[in-house]
Amino acid sequence: MTAMQHISVWLDVPLRGAFTYLHPQPLPSGQRVRVAFGNRELCGVVDNSVPPQALDEARCKPILAVLNELPPLPEALLQQVRFAARYYLHPQGQALFTALPTALREPRAVTLADRQSYRLNAAGLDAEPSARSTVQRQLWQALQQPQSRDALRRVHPQATAFLKQRLAAGHIDILPWQAPPLQIAAALTLNDEQQAALDAVAANLGRFGAFLLHGITGSGKTEVYLQLIARVLAAGQQALVIIPEINLTPQLIERFAQRFPASHIVCLHSGLSDGERLQGWVDAWQGVADIVIGTRLAVFTPLPRAGLVIVDEEHDGSFKQQDGLRYHARDLAVWRANQAQVPVLLGSATPSLETLANVEAGRYRKLLLSARAHGSARLPRIGLVDTRRLKLVDGLSEPVIAALQQRLERREMSLLFINRRGYSPVLACTACGWTSACKHCSARMVLHLSARQLRCHHCGAQQRVPLQCPACGNPDVQPLGEGTQRLEEALRRLLPEARILRIDRDSTSHKAAWDAVYQRVHAGEVDILLGTQMLAKGHDFGALSLVVVLGSDGGLYSADYRASERLFAQLLQVSGRAGRAELAGDVIVQTNWPEHPLYLALTRHDFDGFAASQLQERREAGFPPAASQVILRADAPQYHEAEAFLQQVLALCGELPSPLFVFGPAPALMARLAGRERAQLTFEAPQRAALHAWLRALLPQLDALARKAPRQLRWSLDVDPQEI
């Protein structure tokens, strides 16, 4: 009897180790297999870099099937997953299955499109069909050149039968996929800044380098991407472009398809069926796809000939996965580019402070596009309307109504942007500008009306709601943020002749719905576009002449220290919608805080100044990117259950080695979600490496503690959290 091999296999289960199974022969790393686990059958992936457990054969189960219709998963993917699992303190098996398309997570073989080419060999050329069988002759003639199955079917529908018969007769050579010759449609002539950006990255092709392309909206970043990709394709390489889901519009895909009409472009996004996603993923992996454009999950797409990685709108919050493996697609993209020794280009009009800190530290190189690419397009004028002394009609001030009325008369389109994001209520004094800051943590305390308390969600400190302003004695202390429910109705009443289009989540979740919105907007059927966050993203609504911003004050004094960064980015992005074409645009921000430095910077379009002051604040407060954070979250039906678990973790931690800190337990900002109470511990350190190493060493004990916790308790670790 031959000795069975012990083989390490990753499974999609919440345990940190790999499992050991038996097989008569060795199997390569990356091989998908079917195995029994408990009373289920699961898909597993072989990993020979993990030593198998030296278990008695009698206690080990055999591998049930080797799923080898595809080659083993590439080593580069396994490495990326290994890194991600380690960095994000997540079970590696689960991380691996997160990275795979759904179809490959199942313990079943998959079927794929035929990407081979076929050509007659010498015997086939000799076996010429008679002149009377015209179809056969047609196909036979076509097959004198290499043909894909699809191309041959376009010659004649009977191609499949013909091919089968000729293959059986041994008349056909099978050739690997052959890319059609590259075609590049005419490009725009770059302006000097675009050219400098292109040259800088192009000079770096073939090795790692991280670049920030900081270009205001409409400055022609996409054109720079396209021309860089042209070089990469010309060198026979592949390009990976990661973008936020909401930006993955038909218009964008069309721009790529027009520029590279013969190239195989794969789009990976959440709207695909499992089969479509699988095919795109495999095409990329097998080198059939030239360009992969996708949302955050696309960062795991294997590319054997990667030449360039692009992350567009790199500041966008959607790049951070908020459950399971809580990875950040931008950060993994940079890691990947380094691993593949290719350049990575991060583009944004409002770069994240993380990226700017990397520029300051000399790790990333900044390339600037400071003007709009369209010669005639100018930046909008941004004005503030001080609402402290104005009477509002359903949240609208007189100057705003007048401005909307004026555009209506001129038949120009306006956009009304409502900042509705769930900022937790912070208390503020209407007279002196005092806000409810925490004494212990340079975070702001949040109003909990039911308990009549202010609570710090960072350290857990509590105090009673003050009856008057602690700074000036003014009794009028109010929560920030205003209701926006009645706004659409108010508009319809105030401007009855206006054609109003409301854009909400429903109208953007389907491609067809977006197309309808676009059509109406571009057909000139809309006077006022009304909506929330999704309007701030990179859509081109054509000739917008007025943008009105309402309800943004809540972001000025949020308990979340990232709120001002997000607010500024959002306001600058939404302002960028104004005056895109030949029309100079106006932006009006309605606010109670017209002297706030954020708004003053906004009116000057001063992103750099604002970002520098924010970075400085973060450094002084010891918040990211000046420090590294990991949040341990727990939730349960009752708050005390979640808190008790975190108290046990605290006890486990004991005294933290300097300079590591732990704060909490404290309620999460969204303290109650879906009927569950949420609490958290925040770990912080000036250096990431020390913090991660310490937490990694703690994991076995943490896992053991969690196994003893009540069933209803759920917990997770969030490395580099974006939401507090």
Neighbour-count burial of 169, counting CB atoms closer than 10 A to its CB (0-12 exposed, 13-18 middle, 19+ buried): exposed
For residue 704, the partner it binds in ligand ADP, Zn ion, none, with Cβ less than 5 to 8 A by kind, is none
CB of 366 to ligand ADP, least distance (A): 15
For residue 190, the partner it binds in ligand ADP, Zn ion, none, with Cβ less than 5 to 8 A by kind, is ligand ADP
In 39-180, which residue ranges form alpha helices assigned H by DSSP? 75-87, 92-99, 102-105, 122-126, 134-142, 149-155, 159-168
Asked if 164 interacts with ligand ADP (CB under 6 A), we say no
Contact string (CB under 6 A) for ligand ADP, positions 263-302, x = contact: ----------------------------------------
CB of 217 to ligand ADP, least distance (A): 5
For residue 238, the partner it binds in Zn ion, ligand ADP, none, with Cβ less than 5 to 8 A by kind, is none
User: If we measure between CA atoms, which residue out of 681, 233, 184 comes closest to residue 458?
Assistant: 681
- Contacting range for ligand ADP; rule: CB under 6 A; set: 33-41, 215-223, 622-630, 639-647: 215-223
CB crowding 569-586: b at 16 or more within 10 Å, else e: bbbbbbbbbbbbbebebb
What region, left, alpha or beta, does residue 52 occupy, with left being phi > 0 and alpha being psi -120 to 50 degrees?
A: beta
CA–CA dist 63, 57 (Å, integer): 12
Q: Residues in the site for Zn ion, rule: CB under 5 A?
A: 429, 431-432, 434, 438, 440-441, 456, 458-459, 461, 469, 471-472, 474
CB of 458 to Zn ion, least distance (A): 5
- Identify whether the C-beta of residue 309 lies closer than 8 Å to the C-beta of residue 238: no
CA–CA dist 515, 581 (Å, integer): 21
Contact string (CB under 6 A) for ligand ADP, positions 188-207, x = contact: xxxx--x-------------
| 369: enclosing H helix or E strand | strand 364-369
Strand 306-312's sheet: what is its strand order? Answer: 265-268, 291-294, 238-242, 306-312, 343-348, 209-215, 364-369
For residue 223, the partner it binds in ligand ADP, Zn ion, none, with Cβ less than 5 to 8 A by kind, is ligand ADP
For residue 217, the partner it binds in ligand ADP, Zn ion, none, with Cβ less than 5 to 8 A by kind, is ligand ADP
Q: Using the minimum distance from each CB to ligand ADP, give the nearer residue, 249 or 682.
A: 249
- Contacting range for ligand ADP; rule: CB under 6 A; set: 2-10, 31-39, 218-226, 334-342: 218-226
Tell me, letter by letter, the H, E, C secondary structure of 334-358.
HHHHHHHCCEEEEEECCCCHHHHHH
The phi, psi pair for 636, rounded to 5°, reads -160, 165
CA–CA dist 684, 628 (Å, integer): 6
CB of 98 to ligand ADP, least distance (A): 30
CB of 480 to Zn ion, least distance (A): 14
For residue 373, the partner it binds in Zn ion, ligand ADP, none, with Cβ less than 5 to 8 A by kind, is ligand ADP
Q: 637: which residues sit within 8 A by CB, 6+ positions away?
A: 675, 676, 677, 712
Q: What is the sign of the dihedral through the CA atoms of 596, 598, 599 and 605?
A: positive
Q: Which residue is nearest to ligand ADP (CB)?
A: 220
CB of 191 to ligand ADP, least distance (A): 5
| Residue tagged 């109504």 (tokens) | 401
Chosen residue from 374, 499, 505, 696 binding ligand ADP by CB under 6 A: 374
Q: Using the minimum distance from each CB to Zn ion, give the nearer residue, 328 or 618.
A: 618
CA–CA dist 299, 319 (Å, integer): 10
Q: 111: which residues sit within 8 A by CB, 6+ positions away?
A: 69
User: If we measure between CA atoms, which residue out of 421, 423, 418 comes closest to residue 531?
Assistant: 418
- Vertex 418, ends 415 and 423: CA angle to 5°? 160
Chosen residue from 8, 80, 217, 414 binding ligand ADP by CB under 6 A: 217
For residue 434, the partner it binds in Zn ion, ligand ADP, none, with Cβ less than 5 to 8 A by kind, is Zn ion
Asked if 52 interacts with ligand ADP (CB under 6 A), we say no
* C-alpha distance across the termini of the chain, in Å: 59
- Vertex 369, ends 368 and 373: CA angle to 5°? 170
Q: Using the minimum distance from each CB to ligand ADP, give the nearer residue, 229 or 284.
A: 229
| 676: enclosing H helix or E strand | strand 676-685
Chosen residue from 193, 223, 316, 635 binding ligand ADP by CB under 6 A: 223
User: If we measure between CA atoms, which residue out of 232, 227, 342 comes closest to residue 289?
Assistant: 232
For residue 438, the partner it binds in Zn ion, ligand ADP, none, with Cβ less than 5 to 8 A by kind, is Zn ion
For residue 220, the partner it binds in Zn ion, ligand ADP, none, with Cβ less than 5 to 8 A by kind, is ligand ADP
For residue 459, the partner it binds in ligand ADP, Zn ion, none, with Cβ less than 5 to 8 A by kind, is Zn ion
User: If we measure between CA atoms, which residue out of 590, 639, 209 comes closest to residue 382?
Assistant: 590
Asked if 348 interacts with ligand ADP (CB under 6 A), we say no
Count residues near ligand ADP (CB under 6 A): 15
Asked if 373 interacts with ligand ADP (CB under 6 A), we say yes
Q: Using the minimum distance from each CB to Zn ion, give the nearer residue, 182 or 437.
A: 437
Angstrom CA distances, 98 to 29, 40, 91, 94, stand at 18, 19, 11, 6
| 521: enclosing H helix or E strand | helix 511-522
Q: Using the minimum distance from each CB to Zn ion, give the nearer residue, 306 or 724.
A: 724
Q: Using the minimum distance from each CB to ligand ADP, give the nearer residue, 219 or 424.
A: 219
Q: Using the minimum distance from each CB to Zn ion, give the nearer residue, 144 or 468.
A: 468
Angstrom CA distances, 356 to 80, 352, 365, 626, stand at 25, 6, 10, 11
| Helix/strand number for the chain, H first, E second | 22, 30
- Contacting range for ligand ADP; rule: CB under 6 A; set: 221-229, 384-392, 414-422, 583-591: 221-229
Q: Using the minimum distance from each CB to ligand ADP, give the nearer residue, 119 or 259.
A: 259
In 291-447, which residue ranges form alpha helices assigned H by DSSP? 329-340, 353-360, 398-409
Q: Using the minimum distance from each CB to ligand ADP, give the nearer residue, 320 or 372.
A: 372
CB of 571 to ligand ADP, least distance (A): 17
For residue 474, the partner it binds in ligand ADP, Zn ion, none, with Cβ less than 5 to 8 A by kind, is Zn ion
For residue 188, the partner it binds in Zn ion, ligand ADP, none, with Cβ less than 5 to 8 A by kind, is ligand ADP
Asked if 221 interacts with ligand ADP (CB under 6 A), we say yes
CB of 261 to ligand ADP, least distance (A): 17
For residue 425, the partner it binds in ligand ADP, Zn ion, none, with Cβ less than 5 to 8 A by kind, is none
Which residues contact ligand ADP by CB under 6 A? 188-191, 194, 215, 217-223, 373-374
